Chain A
């Protein structure tokens, strides 16, 4: 009864339901496909997968199913032998130690030293205070602690990494987390301001009665334009870096947003707004969209929403060349100022709880840049943001 197949699809993240599985079984029962792998593939895909964006997952799942390989994790581990960056321990540092490490110079020196050491070093390293590796107090590597360190591979532990030395496969933000987003939807609905425009279509009862009465009882129908959802939104998502922890929350918001508006354009950025953003997260490295184009293409009446944790090194906002993954000729704050000029309403939604905002310098910076229109990613925060955008 293909239960294993069903489980395998589920494990690979293809959204399948029992109902669709029954459909597939019914189709097999009706002899639409018989003893032919390719036919089965087409049939299963047509019955189970309802969106082309899941085709890739389905293909991988089917391959795994045929070859008996059970999980994606296995596949990934087989592909990436990154064992010398794997975390083995997390070092608890005392304040004195932290202070000691701070002695290293600025950003440029840091990069220069990194190059130097990468050249010197051969092989895996963990726990020391000089070499690139995991868990130590060297500024290079990951899982360790250094106030202005460079992260290589793995997950950042303290949310302060300066340079991401890896081109990770950022998956496109999945908009499939529909369940559980009901409360966010309610808040977003605030944005659906019903403007009266469009063709005459609805019966205006009051006016009809009035004018019929004036017509000595002869029916005179009056119509009014039907309501249209006229809210236009540009939304910018922060991906990667310190946002990893918040991607889940972010995805929920994203899936809620997709079906709410008539005009919704979405873009991705990393940490802060620079000269380009991108639409497709997978092809971000070759298919950027110029931010200037975005500013020019959409009218003032578009409402702009940023979703990001605004947690980064302050120089990523303030200085030219501060971006974590490319050289930016102009500082991020110049771009933000330009965007503020081009649109009337800009709001920043921050998944970091409001109580923590004062402890990160960059959040304060961003708040100033968006005129304190920063809201936490909670239903209440969203409601505040939407009320302001809808004003």
Chain B
């Protein structure tokens, strides 16, 4: 059972190593990297490649660790008791969280804890024991939930907050680097197998050029390149427009897919203007 990327996901050697180590040693894998480099996607692809079910837990700023285990709905139990219903079975008022689901799954699942840095700073600390021993105690019913199979846990973070050391020590860590040109070509080919080589070549050129502009607030990432290529293909933009960008048309067509910030677009336009002026005076 080895993860080597999938038909729709290019995994570099170091990423494969990180995933395989985490799967084999049953340790959570913490993934960081620029936005749009496929952190969240990784869990889906690992689940697909290894034939495991995927359980996703998306973290928000209000998420608490307890919600991942279970929630006890005391309010409905109280209401039911007032309406005269039978409320002896506490278990009926306990809603299972994602971790519980993952622990009791029939088959070893992949559990994605997405954007863990969004939550409160205490959140990772509250999960230490659960992730370590893969078990927790339900106080209301007195039962202990133990993992039948230790799930493959993939945690993503966008670096909005520092994670506590105690938590980090329990994880494996991988930082997804921004792909280089060769990897990028492989990624594009995986997504658009029929795309013309020349179009990819030109588009990548423009793409890395835009990424290199100093001062961009949000540099375009892999997912933006994929979207942009899709637009270019559907619009049937002839590749020579891309190629002739230096002759007075410095703004790439459909740039809206690449730049998501109006300041960045303005910056690009200003650069294009300066470029035009330069080429005219030459």
Chain B associates with chain A: yes
- Residues of A whose CB lies within 8 Å of any CB of B are 15, 17, 19-20, 23, 26-27, 30, 32-33, 38-39, 42-43, 45-47, 49-52, 55, 175, 178, 198-199, 201, 218-219, 221, 226, 258-259
Report the nearest A residue to B33, measured CB to CB: A52
Closest CB-CB distance, B21 to chain A, in whole Å? 5
Are A219 and B79 interface neighbours, CB within 8 A? Answer: yes
Q: Is the CB of B14 within 8 A of A46?
A: yes
Pick from A32, A38, A219: contact of B20, CB below 8 A: A32
Alpha-carbon distance between A316 and B173 when the two chains are bound, in angstroms: 45
Contact status B162-A32, CB under 8 Å: no
Report the minimum CB–CB distance from A208 to chain B (whole Å). Answer: 10
Report the minimum CB–CB distance from A24 to chain B (whole Å). 9
User: Given A23-B25, A26-B25, does the pair A51, B168 have CB atoms closer than 8 Å?
Assistant: yes
A296 to B14, CA, bound (A): 42
| B contact set with A: CB distance below 8 Å | 13-14, 17-18, 20-22, 24-25, 27, 29-30, 32, 62, 75, 78-79, 82, 121, 161-162, 164-165, 168-169, 171-175
Give me 23 A-to-B residue pairs in the complex whose CB atoms sit less than 8 angstroms apart, sorted by A's number: A15-B165, A19-B169, A26-B25, A27-B21, A27-B24, A30-B25, A32-B20, A32-B21, A32-B24, A42-B14, A42-B18, A46-B14, A46-B18, A46-B22, A46-B173, A47-B21, A50-B30, A50-B168, A50-B173, A219-B79, A219-B82, A259-B121, A259-B164
Q: How far is the CA of A199 from the CA of B63 in the complex (A)?
A: 12
CA distance in complex: A27, B27 (Å): 11
Q: Name the A residues within 8 Å of B165 (CB-CB).
A: 15, 50, 178
Give A226 to B174 CA distance when docked, in angstroms: 34
Q: Once the chains are docked, how many angstroms separate the CA of A201 from the CA of B61?
A: 13
A55 touches B17 (CB 8 A): no
A219 touches B171 (CB 8 A): no
Query: Which B residues lie within 8 Å of A51 (CB)?
Result: 168, 173
Q: How far does the Cβ of A45 sit from chain B's closest Cβ, in whole Å?
A: 7
- Contact partners of A17 in chain B: CB under 8 A: 169
Which residues on the A side are within 8 Å of B121 (C-beta)?
259
Closest to A175 in B: B162
Task: Give the 7 A-B CB pairs with smallest separation, nearest first.
Answer: A50-B168, A42-B17, A46-B18, A52-B175, A42-B14, A50-B173, A46-B172
Question: B27: which of A23, A45, A178 is its contact (CB, 8 Å)?
Answer: A23
Residues of A contacting B62 in the complex (Cβ-Cβ under 8 angstroms)? 198-199, 201, 226
Contact A27 B25 (CB under 8 A): yes
CB-CB < 8 A to A45: which residues of B?
14
A46 near B169: Cβ-Cβ < 8 Å: no
Q: Which of A27, A46, A50, A218 counts the most B-chain CB atoms under 10 A from its CB? A: A46
Contact partners of B32 in chain A: CB under 8 A: 52
What chain B residues lie within 8 Å of A50 (beta carbons)?
Answer: 30, 165, 168-169, 171, 173
Using known A-B contacts A50-B30, A201-B62, A219-B82, determine if residue A33 contacts B173 with beta carbons closer than 8 Å: no
Residues on B with C-beta less than 8 A from A258 are: 162
